[in-house]
Amino acid sequence: MEQHSPTGRRRGIGRRALLIGGAAAGLGTAGVLGSDELSRLWWRLPGNDKPRKEGELDHEGAEWIPASAVNWRRADRPADYVIDRVVIHVVQGSYPVALKVFRDPEHGAAAHYVVRKDGHVAQMIRELDVAFHAGNRGINERSIGIEHEGFVDRPGSFTDAMYRASARLTAGICARYGFPADREHVVGHVEVPGTDHTDPGPHWDWDRYLELVRKALVRRA
């Protein structure tokens, strides 16, 4: 099948577009999805899904503790959704509590990572997948969520070990996806449009944190 452009030049419809359209039609979605959404179905076609290995980590040194599959959505980022945000969360509870609720299929939410007070990091969802962590679909699709053990109203929750471990984690994410370590791209949950959350709260030291992230980026260079 071919089309003609306004200049009279023939414009072919690529095999990829035809395959995507056919797949969407088979799913009964071709009539409701735009071209941008259709393009994101490409990875679902046979032979195009990225290889996956159980327990594989995106952050060196993390411990793999998988979240319930109900609390995230399979994707192929950044091929289908650009990643250009880190969202900082605070659990309002302990590290074990965060792991427990993120593994609970009734909870309906989970973050990619959880950072403990002593700096230990658990990875619960692969970065290529979309975690239900921000309460905003668009932000979920473009971001990595990092939870931190503690409470927003307790300054002692945020230890030096936690800041440093989390900063190394965020620096790695910034480096992998090529976005800057600044307050436009590293945000708090409270800043997500439509959220009713207040974390990380007034005691989270953004200046200190971003300085540590930038230092970690320099060490990676």
Q: How does pLDDT run along the chain (221 residues), one tens digit per residue? A: 323 333 333 333 343 333 334 444 444 444 445 555 555 565 566 556 677 887 899 999 999 999 999 999 999 999 999 999 999 999 999 999 999 999 999 999 999 999 999 999 999 999 999 999 999 999 999 999 999 999 999 999 999 999 999 999 999 999 999 999 999 999 999 999 999 999 999 999 999 999 999 999 999 88
pTM: 0.81
Q: How many CA atoms lie within 13 A of 104 on its CB side?
A: 10
Q: What pLDDT is recorded for position 95? A: 98
- Cα torsion angle, 123, 91, 198, 195, sign: positive
Q: Are strands 85-88 and 143-148 parallel, antiparallel or unpaired?
A: parallel
The percentage of the chain sitting over the pLDDT mark of 70, rounded to a whole number, equals 77
